[in-house]
Amino acid sequence: MVIVSGTLRLLADDLPKVRVAAATVIAATRAEAGCIVYSFAEDLLEPGLIRIYEEWESREALSAHGRSPHIATWQETLRTVTVLGRDLDVTEAGAREKLG
């Protein structure tokens, strides 16, 4: 499994401009083959900070996601606002099991 986690920091005033596009990219991504989890969350204490968390079955699935039309649209949306920072990490994880 591949985990992507990190943050996207925007001007707080730009959040309303990206919410619809974010909801669209989240819905489309969740329907992709190989997507296990895909979520964005606005930080309640830091306006403009979006926390990102993704789980993918494989690097190949993650790579295909990066080439998808909805990601191109999302990136175009981000070009219309002020992005103050982006910090994402990729982690390769081993076996997964339920915590009992």
CATH of the domain at 45: 3.30.70.100
Contacts of 71 (CB under 8 A, 6+ apart): 25, 29, 65
Contacts of 7 (CB under 8 A, 6+ apart): 49, 50, 51, 52, 85, 86, 87, 88
Domain membership of residue 99 (yes or no) is no
Average pLDDT value for residue range 41-70 = 97
15 pLDDT above the threshold of 90: yes
Domain count, the chain: 1
CA atoms within 13 A on the CB side of 69: 1
Domain membership of residue 52 (yes or no) is yes
- pLDDT value of residue 97: 82
Domain membership of residue 79 (yes or no) is yes
- pLDDT value of residue 42: 96
Kindly indicate the confidence band of residue 95, based on its pLDDT and cuts at 50, 70 and 90: confident
Domain membership of residue 97 (yes or no) is no
Mean confidence (pLDDT) of the chain:
96
Write out the residue range of the structural domain in which residue 37 sits.
2-92
Own/partner pairs, 70-78, CB within 8 angstroms, 24+ separation:
70/24, 70/25, 70/28, 70/29, 71/25, 71/29, 73/21, 73/24, 73/25, 74/21, 74/22, 74/24, 74/25, 77/17, 77/18, 77/21, 78/18
Domain membership of residue 100 (yes or no) is no
